[in-house]
Every structure is written in C-alpha cells, then in structure tokens.
Structure 1
Amino acid sequence: MIDEFLARPLTARVATEGPTIRPTWYLWEDGAFWILSGPWSRLPSLVRSRPRVVVAVDVCELETGVVVQVLARGDAEVRPFDVARGRRKLVRYLGSDEGRWDPRFREYLHGDVGAVWVYLRPSRLVMKDLSYST
C-alpha cells in the first residue's frame, strides 16, 4: 500500500536539521526517495553537513475524506545525477512531452547545470490512514 501511495505524483516536504523544510517533487524507486537538486538549492550542502532528514508526503482530500500520510526518516546522501532516472521523475510530474516542459526542466536532462540526487533509503517508514466519511 505504501508503494502505491508513493507512486502518485504528490509533493513531499523534506526537513533537514536546523530545521529547514522545503516542498519537493520526488521519485520513489526501490524503497528510496530520489530528490532532484543542485547548486541552485542549499539542500545538497545541508545533507552533506547533517544527513539526518525527515520526508513527509500526505494528501487531504476534503471532497472524499481521504487523509493519508507517509513519514520517512533516515540519513540522506548526495549522489550523482543520471538522466534516465531524471526523465522518469520529470515525466511523472510534467508528462511525457518534453516540448511542453518549462525550459529549466529540460535543462536538467540535457544541460550541464550541476544536478544531483538527494537519496534517502528510510530507516523508518510509516503510513497512516486518517481518512473519514463525508
């Protein structure tokens, strides 16, 4: 059930020590979060200095009463960017027609912008269903 929920193109929030919290798109693959980042963000340097992070992904659908949250925590790491995974992540949120994407997203795949992955294989992963009847 966690895999199905995290396969949806939702927005996660990742928190680093400090605390610093930021919304982010993510890719959930092989039991891990892959978050595209780079020199335009402080996230990679924060993770390098203090790798402990928390990621929250949730939905609250007032029309249906669906309220679900996934909380993950663990030590993240910065990994080299690979285009194939980057494409899978961006297609998930933007669709398969790259020609319709904002140019900065195409640049992640085809340019030399210093993109990296912030990778988290959670040491703790919890899903809570707080849904209610409407």
Structure 2
Amino acid sequence: MTTVRSEDVDFDVDAFLARPLMAHLATTSPQGPRDSPVWFLWEEGAIWLIGTSNDSFPQRLLAEPRCAIGVVHFDLARGVLLHLGMRGVATVLPMDRARRDRLLRRYLGDDESAWNATFRETVIEPLDRMIRFVPETVVARDQSYFK
C-alpha cells in the first residue's frame, strides 16, 4: 500500500481485501451517478473486476475512468463495522482468464467442477472484460461498536 495515499487507515487494508467481500463500484454517467455491486480480486496494488463488453459499468469507465470503490464488512452479532473507501482510476482490459479464475475461486470455491452449471454458462463464460482499478486514495475506518 506504499504507493497509495492513505487518508485515514484504522486496519490492515491488504488483509481486509484478501477476504471474499462484496464491493460497490461507483461510476458516473450522463444520467447521474451509478453503483454496481461487484466481486473483486486484490492483486499487485489494484482491485480487479470482471465484466462483459455488454455490461454498462465497463462502458461508463471507458467514458470516465475516475471512480470509487467501497467495501464493507458488517457483523451485527459481534459489533464489527469495517469500511474501506477508495478513489482512483480504472482501465478496461481484455479478459485475463487466469486472473478471472483466481477471482472466481475466492467466491465459488476451489473445486470448479462443483460450480453451478447454469451460472457457469450464463455468467462466467460471457465474461470478456477485466477492469483494473488503481486506488489513488484510501480511507479504512474501523467503526465497530466494540474495539
């Protein structure tokens, strides 16, 4: 994280981003702001996302690459609330199948033969774009009830 300007960091960002959490990608469009829930992979100081050339968020990023990503871990029973917010620039790239597979294994498990066949056919196989988001600023706040 040394290349990123950290504004407010209360916890280990690398360890947090190693977890299979859900992220939200905030982009802009001529019609106003947009939010896309996304799976992600944290590698080489970047957030990697997957999509298709038909998805709207890669198209918005081609038009305006400045964007933000937020990730939250919330555990009500334990009183845990960790929030990570990043602002930076995204680049839309061709699909890197090896990286895609590493990303998917985070969420679906290592045994690819156990992945749902319909999900594989309708969601995974059409993926043809990879988005590389490089954070310029990071805010990582521990707002847990019990620290």
TM-score, length-scaled by structure 1: 0.90
Equivalent pairs: percent with the same residue?
A: 39
Pairwise mapping of residues 1-134 of structure 1 onto structure 2 (< 5 A)?
1-17=12-28, 18-103=32-117, 106-107=120-121, 111=125, 113=126, 115-133=128-146
Residue equivalent to 2:9: none
Residues 42 and 48 in structure 2, CA contact (< 8 A), matched pair in contact too: yes
Structure 1 segments unaligned to the other structure (5+ residues) = none
Residues 36 and 116 in structure 1, CA contact (< 8 A), matched pair in contact too: yes
TM-score, length-scaled by structure 2: 0.83
Residues 37 and 115 in structure 1, CA contact (< 8 A), matched pair in contact too: yes
Deviates more, 1:35-44 or 1:54-63: 35-44
Amino acid aligned to 1:88: R
SS in 1 for 2:144: coil
CA RMSD of aligned residues (A): 1.8
Structure 2 segments unaligned to the other structure (5+ residues) = 1-11
SS in 1 for 2:21: coil
Query: After TM superposition, which residue ranges in structure 1, 4 or more long, deviate above 2 angstroms?
Result: 102-109
Bigger strand share: 2
Change (3 A) 1:115 1:47: same
